[in-house]
Amino acid sequence: MQREACRMSGGVQEPAMAGMITLDDLDNMTDELGSDSAYNSNGSVEEEVEPMEDGEQDRLLNYWQTVARGHEVEVPNEMAEPIQQLTRNGRTEERQRVPFLLLSCKEKCGETLYEKRQYGKAKWACIKMQEERYEQSICMGFMKLMRYICEQNSTGSYLGMTIPVLTTVHTDEANTGITRAVTVAYYIPSHLQANPPQPTDQDIIIEEWPPTVVFSREFPGVTNEESIMREISQLAEHLDSPDLCLQDTFIVAGYTNPAAANRRNEIWFLERA
């Protein structure tokens, strides 16, 4: 499979080497480009800007390719148009958030330890990946979902970005690490839930997820194998009855890209049905 990359990947910050770049460098590049990512840092509405100038598509593509090299993956040139389209729309419209009902919230000394939420039945565009590294899997999976969002669907229209983007992960038998197989999922916008556009990519499957109760804890920074296992352990310590949740399946919810100054993620435990 051709290696691809995207900016939503939670890559490890590695030592700077030839052809690689640090996250601090990426933040500076982001400021120069005038856009944070396929979805902005807080999901808020931004003021409308003038159309992109000639050459902006190449600059955006080169930026994504630079990020990709830091994760040992590549962005093909054919991603130039989807990247530009997501960036252009990202400057002018609010990201639709996946709706949920807040059931309860556990706090201590003013800190939110976790939230208990009810998510309703909904349709998601899902793709299963199994690369050598977690960040490679979510990168390549999201790149495919980007194409689906950006007109490579049965309607030929731009669907709009929703947040969070979810990644389902599984722990190994010893519960000491996560397995290579992950599922990256994009919430179909509410106005398309009844009749979701079909993807042209056969690897993407439209799934209907049942109503689910989750226990959610927010955490900042990168998302990789080490940080995910750490957050799973911390949330388990805060739960009154962790045995009521699935013990080998968890969800990482991503709201921002890893180059953002204030990255926001959540770890979700799934209550047993």
Domain boundaries, the chain: 23-90, 96-271
State how far the alpha carbon of 68 is from the alpha carbons of 19, 123, 130, in Å: 10, 29, 18
Query: Residue 84: left if φ>0, alpha if ψ -120 to 50, beta else—which one?
Result: alpha
State how far the alpha carbon of 232 is from the alpha carbons of 15, 171, 225, 229, 252, in Å: 26, 10, 11, 5, 10
User: What is the reported pLDDT for 8?
Assistant: 38
Cα 149 to Cα 161: distance, rounded to the nearest angstrom: 7
User: What is the reported pLDDT for 4?
Assistant: 42
User: What is the reported pLDDT for 151?
Assistant: 84
**Residue 255, class by beta-carbon neighbours within 10 Å (0-12 exposed, 13-18 middle, 19+ buried)?**
buried
pTM score of the predicted model = 0.75
* Dihedrals phi, psi of 85, to nearest 5 degrees: -65, -45
Residues 211-240 as b or e (16 or more Cβ within 10 Å = b): ebbbbbbebeebbbbebbbebbeebbeebe
Q: Are 127 and 147 within 8 A, CB to CB?
A: no
E-strand stretches of the chain: 96-97, 101-108, 111-119, 122-129, 162-163, 165-170, 182-187, 205-209, 212-219, 245-254, 265-271
Is 210 in a helix, a strand, or coil?
A: coil
Q: What DSSP string runs through 220-269?
A: -S--SHHHHHHHHHHHHHH-S-GGGEEEEEEEEEE-S-TTSSS--EEEEE
User: What is the reported pLDDT for 83?
Assistant: 65
Helix axes 80-90, 56-69, angle to 10 degrees: 100
User: What is the reported pLDDT for 257?
Assistant: 63
* Dihedrals phi, psi of 161, to nearest 5 degrees: -85, 140
Reading the chain (273 residues) residue by residue, the pLDDT tens digits are 434 434 333 333 333 333 333 334 334 444 444 444 455 433 333 334 344 555 777 777 776 666 666 656 666 676 666 666 666 665 545 678 999 999 999 999 999 999 999 999 999 999 999 988 888 888 888 889 988 998 889 999 989 889 999 999 999 988 889 999 999 999 999 999 999 999 999 999 999 999 999 999 999 988 889 999 999 999 999 999 999 999 999 999 998 764 455 778 999 999 998
Considering the domain delimited by 96-271, tell me its CATH architecture. Alpha-Beta Barrel (3.20)
Q: What DSSP string runs through 7-35?
A: TT---------TT---HHHHHHHHHHHT-
Contacts of 24 (CB under 8 A, 6+ apart): none
User: What is the reported pLDDT for 11?
Assistant: 35
User: What is the reported pLDDT for 189?
Assistant: 96
Residue whose token pair is 């209907």: 208
Residues in the chain: 273
User: What is the reported pLDDT for 132?
Assistant: 86
Beta bridge partners of 219: 265
* Dihedrals phi, psi of 246, to nearest 5 degrees: -60, 140
User: What is the reported pLDDT for 15?
Assistant: 33
